[in-house]
């Protein structure tokens, strides 16, 4: 409640400020030449990091000539001060630079990759992770992060599934809000604030075949129902900026899509921040075949509502002539510059351009023990126990054969998009387990990729000398993230063969996975005695894994993305449609594969514990609900195991009949609850007609009368439904604007 009041207070106060012309901004704008204005609409990367296809050597000269509004991939107090001096002291108007960076899951202290963090189902932990990232990044010279990435992703072949919150729109919207709150805090001018940038607008996760940058061709209903809500949530949470995506939607690249930016983001949602493109995505509209040349691409992007051009230099080089030729009104440029200058002022840079360039602050906060402790806490909560036949938790007296290409690795466990993170400062699994006094015998066995089996015999010999085998395997960090799609989802290289050789020793076999996407684990799920999914757990991953393997923490992570049985099932997600021929094993002519079941190996919401939870069937406070009423749904959850634990109690709904077909289940609530052994708790959710709303046949947003099923369950495939009737419909919003 307190947080809600703070947000309301901030939004109520800040929103009008954003809407009213700012006298400082107007005065400055009035002094600017057209070239200086175009300079503000331009962001270049430094040569400290490369996160896209091009670099521009003369970026420092560009700054001196007032041709740059922001720099990304530059940090530390010293370097940002040096570059800020060029802007503030050497240009005519001294307009300070914004410094941006991909602070995606931590800055120096690296947290679990976002897909892992989402598996905590703990909005407080997720917000805290963003807050720690902001405290470190802002101490290290940065004002702005290109996060949160809120792209709903349902295709694990797509490497960027690692960067988001998984397959569910409703959960992804809650997480988007938490991340914006965490990054920005409640005062954008505070020294430790970090401007958020909600990305990639929009529907980047729907790339065909899971191939990065590929075509997106989806219906308006799919766009509005699945992909836009997390962006709306982030905008409502006050995200300072938004980044357009590389992809097209239905033939129109997002960077030139006035419907997305001007009509929806600004016109419908009232977004007051500024819009930056992704890396060279204005120029890429030529390759898309949407623009005949750079000049046209610049006009299309400017008229669509883009304010800042990342790395194309097209606004800088071509927009001036477009304004002179009246292809772009000067007012469009002035509005863009106004939004950029207003955000620089809100970030406190007009008052102090060196706000974040203080070496003493950096020394105090970077990788502090408190930040590392927060990263360790988030990591252990992000892990998902997929299987355990009792081999976990490990007994400390056991002799452990620690095997696999990631057992001693540090660099990969901080994952992709780990920016300023330093793998050398991370804690490996071997170090984490050794620090707990475990007797380890270690053998790598094989590499992550490649066919070399030369290490197998030493690994098998090690296993034979031990009481239990812990195999740490998975993907390299670079096998997920940007430009990292995979056509297969099984363990790379010969890792599965090594597992088979270890299995043949007859020793208990626990598989610890490090990966940036769901994998196909059909063999592993049959042959390993335990499987712990740790994603890429960040700087403290080794210690967090030791916490869980030794039972100091009872794992409570739950999947936010479905694990398929086979890549051929993809896309597969829990909230699919029933179809007109749902699977009926007794009838040939129903929707199925000949060679694999329809259901996933591990469903959305799934995760085991070292204890066991039991659910009663849901009980309803009434058999029906009207447009103004509320319906309470309760169930009792009991810890019937021998250990204390935490359970993520999930609420799912099914609208049985609609003016358009509806998913078989939709998540509409969750509560993460601690339960001591033997303890039980009645968990209650309150539903109103608003929770039943969807984009109806006419694309209005509202609920329709009829029967609904509701579950209170441990995952998307479990539980028994209760049924209630919504007696009347409700319209919450008129039909969405047409493109």
What residue spans of 482-585 are helical by DSSP H? 495-503, 522-527, 541-549
**Nearest approach, Cβ of residue 278 and ligand GLC (Å):** 5
What distance in Å separates the CA atoms of residue 338 and residue 67, rounded to the nearest whole number? 16
Give the nearest distance from C-beta 150 to ligand GLC in angstroms.
Answer: 11
Cα 643 from Cα 608, distance rounded (Å): 13
188 to 298, 473, 488, 529: CA distances (angstroms) = 30, 42, 43, 49
Closer residue to ligand GLC in complex, CB, 482/647: 482
Least distance (Å) from ligand GLC to the CB of residue 168? 21
Nearer to ligand GLC, 245 or 569 (CB): 245
Cis status of the peptide bond prior to 202, with omega within 30 of 0: yes
Q: Please give the C-alpha separations between residue 259 and each of 262, 699, 700, in angstroms, as whole numbers.
A: 6, 16, 17
What residues pair up with 469 in beta bridges, in sequence order?
Answer: 401, 509
Strand 439-443 to 468-474 pairing: unpaired
**DSSP β-bridge partners for residue 649:** 671
The three state secondary structure string of 639-705 is: ECCCCCEEEEEEEEEEECCCCCCCECCEEEEEEEEEECCCCEEEEEEEEEHHHHCEECCCCCEEECC
Strand partners, 711: 652
3-class SS string, 567-590: HHHCCCCCCCECCCCCCCCCCCCC
Given a contact cutoff of 8 angstroms between Cβ atoms, the answer to whether 464 and 507 are in contact is yes
Residue keyed to tokens 């439904």: 721
Which CB atom, from 291 or from 416, has the smaller least distance to ligand GLC?
A: 416
Q: How far is the CB of 101 from ligand GLC (least distance, A)?
A: 8
Token pair recorded at residue 411: 């660099």
Q: Measured from the CB atom, is 48 or 523 closer to ligand GLC?
A: 48
Q: Cβ closer to ligand GLC: 72 or 383?
A: 72
Q: Which of 118, 194, 46, 163 minimizes the C-alpha distance to 417? A: 163
Residue 12 neighbours by CB under 8 Å, 6+ apart:
none
Helix locations, 428-480, DSSP H? 429-434, 456-465
CB of 102 or CB of 296, closer to ligand GLC: 102
Q: Minimum distance from CB of 418 to ligand GLC (Å)? A: 13
- In sign, the C-alpha dihedral spanning 283, 287, 293, 296 is negative
Question: Least distance from C-beta 35 to ligand GLC, angstroms?
Answer: 25
Whether omega for the bond prior to residue 320 falls within 30 degrees of 0, making it cis, is no
**Residue 279: CB minimum distance to ligand GLC, A:** 4
Question: 217 phi and psi, to 5 degrees?
Answer: -135, 95
The DSSP symbol for 256 reads G
At 469 the three-state DSSP class reads strand
Residue 72 or 553 with smaller CB distance to ligand GLC = 72
Residue among 164 and 305 whose Cβ is closer to ligand GLC: 164
Residue placing its CB nearer to ligand GLC in the complex, 230 or 607: 230
Closest CB to ligand GLC among 104 and 693? 104
Are 341 and 23 within 8 A, CB to CB?
no
Least distance to ligand GLC, CB of residue 622, Å: 47
**Pick 95 or 197: Cβ nearer ligand GLC:** 197
**Nearby residues of 488 by Cβ (< 8 Å), 6 or more positions away:** 520, 567
Nearest distance, CB of residue 151 and ligand GLC, angstroms? 10
* Strand partners of residue 634: 619, 684
Least distance (Å) from ligand GLC to the CB of residue 184? 17
Is 276 or 302 the residue whose CB approaches ligand GLC more closely? 276
- Of the pair 227, 279, the CB lying nearest ligand GLC is at 279
Q: How far is CA 386 from CA 159, 504, 521, 609, in A?
A: 21, 22, 10, 9
CA-based nearest residue to 38, from 262, 317, 284: 317
- Dig out the tokens for 309 from the structure: 């051009």
Altogether, the residues listed in the chain come to a count of 739
The question of whether 278 is a catalytic residue gets the answer yes
Q: Other CB atoms closer than 10 Å to residue 504's CB: what's the count?
A: 11
Q: Could you say which of 168, 278, 307, 309 is catalytic?
A: 278
Measure CA 119 to chain center: 11
d(CA 396, CA 728): 60
Angle subtended by helix axes 229-236 and 169-184, to nearest 10: 30
Task: Give the binding site for ligand GLC (CB under 6 A).
Answer: 51-52, 72, 102, 146, 199, 278-279, 482
* Integer Cα distance of 131 and 111 in angstroms: 11
Q: Least distance in Å: CB of 257 to ligand GLC?
A: 17
Give the catalytic positions in this structure.
Answer: 278
């Amino acid at each position: 409640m307190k947080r809600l009041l703070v947000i309301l207070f901030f939004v109520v106060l800040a929103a009008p400020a954003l809407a009213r012309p700012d006298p400082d901004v107007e005065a400055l704008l009035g002094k600017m030449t057209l070239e200086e204005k175009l300079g503000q609409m331009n962001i270049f990367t430094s040569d400290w990091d490369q996160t896209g296809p091009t670099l521009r050597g003369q970026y420092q000269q560009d700054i001196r000539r007032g041709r740059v509004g922001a720099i990304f991939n530059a940090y530390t107090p010293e370097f940002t001060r040096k570059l800020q001096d060029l802007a503030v002291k050497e240009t005519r108007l001294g307009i300070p630079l914004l410094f941006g960076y991909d602070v995606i899951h931590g800055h120096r202290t690296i947290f679990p990759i976002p897909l892992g963090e989402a598996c905590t189902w703990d909005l407080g932990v997720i917000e805290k992770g963003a807050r720690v990232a902001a405290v470190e990044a802002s101490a290290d010279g940065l004002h702005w992060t290109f996060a949160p990435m809120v792209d709903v992703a349902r295709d694990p072949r797509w490497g960027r599934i690692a960067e988001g919150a998984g397959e569910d729109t409703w959960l992804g919207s809650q997480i988007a809000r938490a991340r914006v709150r965490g990054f920005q805090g409640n005062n954008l001018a505070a020294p430790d604030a970090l401007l958020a940038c909600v990305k990639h607008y929009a529907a980047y996760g729907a790339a065909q075949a899971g191939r990065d940058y590929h075509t997106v061709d989806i219906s308006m209903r799919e766009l509005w129902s699945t992909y836009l809500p997390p962006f709306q949530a982030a905008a409502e949470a006050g995200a300072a900026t938004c980044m357009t995506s590389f992809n097209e939607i239905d033939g129109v690249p997002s960077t030139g899509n006035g419907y997305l930016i001007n009509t929806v983001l600004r016109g419908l949602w009232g977004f007051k921040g500024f819009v930056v493109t992704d890396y060279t995505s204005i120029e890429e509209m030529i390759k898309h075949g949407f623009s005949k040349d750079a000049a046209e691409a610049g006009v299309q992007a400017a008229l669509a509502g883009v304010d800042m051009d990342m790395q194309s230099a097209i606004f800088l080089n071509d927009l001036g002539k477009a304004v002179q030729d009246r292809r772009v009104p000067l007012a469009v440029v002035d509005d863009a510059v106004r939004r950029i200058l207003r955000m620089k002022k809100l970030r406190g840079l007009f008052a102090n351009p060196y706000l974040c360039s203080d070496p003493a602050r950096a020394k105090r906060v970077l990788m502090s023990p408190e930040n590392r402790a927060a990263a360790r806490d988030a990591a252990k909560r992000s892990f998902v126990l997929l299987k355990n036949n009792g081999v976990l938790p490990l007994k400390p007296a056991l002799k452990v054969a620690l095997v696999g290409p990631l057992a001693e690795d540090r660099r990969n466990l901080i994952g992709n998009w780990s920016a300023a993170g330093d793998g050398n400062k991370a804690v490996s699994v071997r170090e984490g387990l050794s620090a707990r006094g475990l007797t380890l015998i270690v053998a790598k066995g094989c590499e992550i990729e490649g066919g070399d089996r030369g290490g197998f015999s030493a690994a098998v010999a090690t296993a034979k000398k031990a009481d239990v085998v812990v195999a740490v395997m998975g993907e390299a960090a670079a096998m997920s993230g940007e430009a990292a799609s995979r056509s297969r989802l099984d363990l790379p290289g010969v890792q599965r063969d090594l597992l088979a050789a270890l299995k043949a020793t007859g020793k208990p076999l626990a598989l610890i996975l490090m990966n940036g996407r769901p994998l196909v684990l059909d063999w592993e799920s049959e042959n390993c005695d335990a499987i712990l999914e740790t994603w890429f757990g960040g700087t403290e991953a080794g210690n967090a894994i030791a916490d869980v393997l030794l039972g100091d923490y009872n794992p409570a992570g739950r999947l936010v993305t479905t694990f398929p049985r086979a890549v051929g099932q993809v896309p597969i997600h829990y909230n699919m449609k029933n179809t007109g021929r749902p699977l009926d094993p007794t009838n040939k002519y129903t929707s199925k594969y000949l060679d694999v079941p329809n259901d996933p190996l591990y469903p959305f919401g799934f995760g085991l514990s070292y204890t066991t939870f039991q659910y009663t069937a849901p009980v309803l406070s009434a058999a029906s609900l009207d447009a103004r009423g509320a319906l309470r749904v309760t169930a009792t959850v009991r810890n019937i195991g021998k250990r204390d634990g935490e359970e993520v109690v999930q609420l799912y709904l099914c609208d049985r009949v609609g003016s358009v077909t509806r998913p078989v289940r939709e998540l509409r609530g969750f509560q993460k609850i601690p339960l001591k052994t033997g303890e039980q708790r009645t968990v209650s959710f309150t539903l109103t007609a608003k929770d039943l709303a969807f984009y109806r046949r006419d694309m209005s947003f509202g609920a329709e009368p009829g029967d609904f099923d509701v579950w209170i369950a441990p995952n998307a495939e479990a539980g028994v439904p209760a049924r209630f009737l919504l007696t009347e419909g409700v319209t919450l919003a008129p039909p969405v604007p047409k493109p």
